[in-house]
Structure 1
Amino acid sequence: MSMDAITIDGLCRQLQQELSDSRVDKIFMPRREEVILSLRSRRGAWKLVISCSGAGGRVYLTGKKTENPDAPPMFCMLLRKHLTAARLLEVSQPEHERMLLFRFSAYDDFGELSEKSLAVELTGRRNNLILLSGDGTILGCLKKVDSEMSPQRPILPGLHYRMPPRPVRRSLLALTEEEARALAKKALSQEEGAKALTGELDLVSPLIARELWHRGGGREEALAAEIMDLSRRVQEGDYQPTLLRRGEEYVDFSFMPMSHLGEDTQNLPQEGFSQMIERFYGERASEERRKSVSSALEKRMANQESRLVRKLANQRNDLLRAEKREDLKRRADLIMANIHMIPQGAEKVTVTDYFSPDLPQVELELDGDKTPQQNAQALFKEYTRMKNAQQALEEQIVQGEQELEYVQSVQLALQQARDIKEVNAIREELLESGYLRSKEKHPKKKKPAVFQPREYTSPSGLRILCGRNNRENDQLTLRTAGKNDLWFHSQKAPGSHVILFTQGQTPTGEDLEYAARIAAGHSRLAKQSLAPIDYALARHVKKPAGAKPGMVIYTDYKTLFVRPLED
């Protein structure tokens, strides 16, 4: 992802043209490494997104709304203190570095005008956002860098800001034709010529170096001409913002079209650098956020599942032992039947088993510190305890199996969530169910998630809805479906609730099979060649009192074996 120096130069020119003389209206930090400045001028309003994520630092303008935390981070409060109502004077790219400098004019604590600056470093893993005073003193930074992390260039409040170190290379902008030919000749003499161009020239990224090498075609004059043409482009700002797409995915972007990536890569011209960057990172950033939140929830649910599986295994072992309690009662009865023959203090005794037809001799182990009667009482007591334990264990196992089924249904919903909104809806469900704790001391009551189940149309044109999570499953089955609509669900496996709306008609066999395939595709049986799917009238589906979201019981059902639908 090429936020290289030349792309940043093109972006800088666009931002300077569009944002000059605008004022900072509001400042937000929707995520830990992302700041949004809401800017306003006579020409309109913009949101300037500054992301310092190591996966893809970027700056662009957007019109999209974002959700912001109720409690802003400290760095956000610092920016608000110094930059709210500040006027943007200039957007620049110091020394053609991979950074942008936003210079503001703002009133200080004494009511006097002073300059403040935001330095956005876009150097890869060490992307950073730094607030500077007029004399270059660091007032605050998004990522603090102490002397142990970087002895040559610590970044901490109170220190004087220094530019990032840059390697000694030839200036692309000051290159003469003679120097370009010498450079081309040197590159052609090396095994990795494109890499040599990157090492010799500043501003030239590996992507651009490979493009120059490809266009040069192994000829010295042609390569030198391409180098000089690149120098001209940068000096004149002659850029063509281009998205590079392979198949359905954006793979990169640049300030000019790329020809060396092959015929399967499309060059899509863009109206501006900001629009190009927003388009490239839009879906990618949304997917990154979805994975970030989803993976944390999946890990928690996996731990919960492991805990429940271990707990159920222990309970089932205890139940097996409890079911063998009749042996305790039999031993106690034998002691009482032969108590007149058992001497005091005996640890082993052979007695007659009066409860067997052939009256065999049986050896019993006793506690020598107890009397025969006390031994029998201890066995009777243990028998009664295990009898009571069996009933409690059976109830606990049923509850544990129901909870395990619920946890597995949440895991399935997380795996099938398509965007951050679906993941957040599942997170809210887990907060309500007590599996997560809110970090807010006094959480505000949030609006319920929009009910948007997945929608399909059957072969004969009937409407089919499929729940995306357990709360949607409940609403779909218990409130949306009519009593004569058909309900589908995977047999003895977590899955989405699917409703086939009959609309007063009798569904065809193809309709039933299609709805069943949807239910199979959105269940834990999705990878089986054939999956058993139960279906019943919605009026035969009930929710037990106190059951967890998505948990129902049903009667009068039939079963179809179908091939899961690949959505």
Structure 2
Amino acid sequence: MSFDGSFTHAMVHELNDLLKSGRITKIHQPYENEVIITFRANRKNYPVLLSAHPNYARVQITKIPYANPAVPTNFAMMLRKYLDGAILNGIQQVENDRIVNFSFSKRNELGDIEELLLAVEIMGRRSNIVLLNNTTKVILDTIKHINADQNRYRLLLPGATYITPPSQDKLNPFTDETKAYAKALSDFPNQEVLATELHRIYQGLDKNTSLELANYLHQHNESSAFDDFFEKFDQPNPVMTTKKQKSSFTAFPYATLEGTQQNFTTLGDLLDAFYVAKAQHDRVIQKAGNLVHVVKNDLKKNRTKLKKLNQTLASSEQADVYKIKGEILTTYLNQVKRGMTEITLPNYYDNNQDIKISLSNQISPSQNAQKYFKKYQKAKNAVHYVSEQLTKTHQEIDYLDNIMTQIELANPQDLDEIREELEKEGYLKVNQKKRKQKRSRASKPETFHATDGTQISVGKNDTQNDRLTLKTAKKTDIWLHTQKIPGSHVIIHDANPTDQTLTEAATLAAYFSKAQQSAHVPVDYVAVKRVHKPNGAKPGLVIYEGQSTLIVDPDEQLVNQLRQV
């Protein structure tokens, strides 16, 4: 299910219950299209995510931590100017559309009460967040500026008059008194056709909700069935339904959706679980900036170098042939005449089988023999050099491959440490301006809890991995890592975990690795005291011995469950 109008109705109901009359205490814009506004209401703090992301636009209370940028954006500064300390009067949905209006009151610099509106338009790639004076309808700022060239119907620029998006010629199912559904039910007895008709008639119904409504009307013949269905959105029972790695979120269980169901206390918790991987990955790629570009380029260079080294090694395997030819020429030097271009002589290394030897007619027989000895020595030296370079290049590729995996698995707040590591290792130029800024606090490994309550820590970058394995963990704790696959260090904070806890921790190790989309992933586990870091090794690299191995399948649903326990 998408964030349709009916789900928006349920979300507005939840937000009003928790936030009404609350005061804004913090405003941040951690990501390009998303704002976090913290409300203080009923003696609790509620971080509310307002997202205008083209793929993940939504409004919700979130518990997912975020990285606050060192320098606030212009839009964040404008929100702070007008809304910091403002009182929330209420949250309204425009009809059953995906437009949520937060109305505020605040005293301005002159002491007069000013009415302000923050409109969140959830419309795919046209999603936006608009701050305006609720009395004059003049736009103060928007998270995305839209000029006349981009939209002829309305301007979304500071100083322009706010015009709501064009309304659809559809009925609001929450206020419909025409009972248009009854005629549709009698005209279209087929459930799927009825769903299509309901989608055409009513506003804010996506495909899943339309189909569920059609099924509900068929199953319940009471005249109140239509109203009963939409009353469920005012008393939601949030659920995520998963089938074959595909998940859907709904305000209450849908009989028409098959799969494993996972219930949540609030709609915000539901969306956190649903978007934790999808939205976080997008945020990471967005914030990673040139990190991905630099690592991919270095990986490409080293893989090209590896290919050339292997070719050189293959040609260097002819070294013994050069030596044999040089020795045979020396033995039969009296049979070699100046001016010859080749000669066939018995090879006493191969049962005196004849061997053909090419010669230069410009040099003497003795010089021809010496030429082969020089080729032999050069090839022999090349084998030693190429072998060393092959080892270094393999290590470089493994390191960069591991960094790439860390970027893909990281939370946005983990990226600063990855960037610092790449600067320290010489892959990135040091940004002197950022170096002078106050260094951000070290990020911490993510914490999970096994079914029996045992704490499990998962490092998300080399800095976290080294700190977790070599400093934080006890020597008797259990260390896990995917076998010969880039991934996170995982620590079970228990010397004798149960088999179930071991399996759950191994599943975490498989999920937070390059093998996340694979099956039957081998995961090694061993006591921390058997894990060591070689002298001069790159960050995150360790060696270990005496390990045992588990074969597990990465399971996103299990990961989310362990995250919430």
TM-score (norm 2): 0.68
From 321, 324, 330, the counterpart of 2:318: 324
- Kindly state the Cα deviation for residue 227 of structure 1 after the two structures are TM-superposed: 3.9
Instruction: Give the secondary structure class of the aligned counterpart of 1:442.
Output: helix
Measured in 2, the distance between the counterparts of 1:174 and 1:486 equals 58
Provide Cα deviations, 1:200-243, integer angstroms capped at 9, x if missing partner: 23455555544443333388xx4754346679x69xxx922231
Q: Is the 8 A contact 1:331 1:364 kept in 2?
A: no
Measured in 2, the distance between the counterparts of 1:264 and 1:534 equals 33
- Paired residue type of 1:226: A
Q: Is the 8 A contact 1:414 1:423 kept in 2?
A: yes
After superposition, the Cα gap between the structure-2 partners of 1:364 and 1:558, relative to the gap in structure 1 and judged at 3 Å, is same
The aligned residue for residue 198 of structure 1 is 199
The aligned residue for residue 234 of structure 2 is 239
After superposition, the Cα gap between the structure-2 partners of 1:430 and 1:263, relative to the gap in structure 1 and judged at 3 Å, is same
- Kindly state the Cα deviation for residue 119 of structure 1 after the two structures are TM-superposed: 1.5
Count of residues in correspondence between the two structures = 534
Provide Cα deviations, 1:382-412, integer angstroms capped at 9, x if missing partner: 6665454443322212222333444455567
Q: Is the 8 A contact 1:58 1:277 kept in 2?
A: no
The aligned residue for residue 226 of structure 1 is 225
Instruction: Give the secondary structure class of the aligned counterpart of 1:313.
Output: helix
- Kindly state the Cα deviation for residue 160 of structure 1 after the two structures are TM-superposed: 3.3
Q: Is the 8 A contact 2:116 2:132 kept in 1?
A: yes
The aligned residue for residue 142 of structure 2 is 141
After superposition, the Cα gap between the structure-2 partners of 1:340 and 1:157, relative to the gap in structure 1 and judged at 3 Å, is farther
The aligned residue for residue 341 of structure 2 is 349
Measured in 1, the distance between the counterparts of 2:313 and 2:460 equals 37
1:547 aligns with 2:537: yes
1:119-518 equivalence runs, <5 A:
119-133=119-133, 135-147=136-148, 149-153=150-154, 155-170=156-171, 172=173, 175-176=176-177, 181-188=182-189, 192-202=193-203, 206-217=207-218, 222=221, 225-227=224-226, 239-246=234-241, 251-254=248-251, 260-261=255-256, 276-292=266-282, 307-325=301-319, 349-350=341-342, 364-366=358-360, 386-407=379-400, 432-434=424-426, 441-443=433-435, 444-450=438-444, 474=466
- Kindly state the Cα deviation for residue 165 of structure 1 after the two structures are TM-superposed: 1.6
The aligned residue for residue 551 of structure 2 is 564
After superposition, the Cα gap between the structure-2 partners of 1:176 and 1:131, relative to the gap in structure 1 and judged at 3 Å, is closer
Q: Is the 8 A contact 1:532 1:559 kept in 2?
A: no
Which structure's CA Rg is the greater one? Answer: 1
Measured in 1, the distance between the counterparts of 2:16 and 2:399 equals 54
The aligned residue for residue 47 of structure 1 is 47
Instruction: Give the secondary structure class of the aligned counterpart of 1:564.
Output: strand
The aligned residue for residue 58 of structure 1 is 58
- Paired residue type of 1:564: I
After superposition, the Cα gap between the structure-2 partners of 1:364 and 1:286, relative to the gap in structure 1 and judged at 3 Å, is same
More moved, 28-37 vs 124-133: 124-133
- Kindly state the Cα deviation for residue 281 of structure 1 after the two structures are TM-superposed: 0.9
Structure 1: state its 5+ residue gaps: 271-275
Instruction: Give the secondary structure class of the aligned counterpart of 1:168.
Output: coil
Q: Is the 8 A contact 2:249 2:274 kept in 1?
A: no
1:7-156 equivalence runs, <5 A:
7-9=7-9, 11-12=11-12, 15=15, 19=19, 22-40=22-40, 45-61=45-61, 66-105=66-105, 115-133=115-133, 135-147=136-148, 149-153=150-154, 155-156=156-157
- Kindly state the Cα deviation for residue 57 of structure 1 after the two structures are TM-superposed: 2.5
Q: Is the 8 A contact 1:498 1:519 kept in 2?
A: no
Percent identity of equivalent pairs: 27
Measured in 1, the distance between the counterparts of 2:234 and 2:457 equals 48
- Kindly state the Cα deviation for residue 50 of structure 1 after the two structures are TM-superposed: 1.0
- Kindly state the Cα deviation for residue 6 of structure 1 after the two structures are TM-superposed: 4.7
Provide Cα deviations, 1:160-189, integer angstroms capped at 9, x if missing partner: 332212222345577546766545434448
Q: Is the 8 A contact 2:194 2:214 kept in 1?
A: yes
CA RMSD in angstroms, aligned pairs only: 5.8
Measured in 2, the distance between the counterparts of 1:453 and 1:229 equals 41
Q: Is the 8 A contact 1:351 1:364 kept in 2?
A: yes
Q: Is the 8 A contact 1:60 1:277 kept in 2?
A: yes
- Kindly state the Cα deviation for residue 283 of structure 1 after the two structures are TM-superposed: 1.8
Q: Is the 8 A contact 2:476 2:527 kept in 1?
A: no
Measured in 1, the distance between the counterparts of 2:55 and 2:184 equals 33
TM-score (norm 1): 0.68
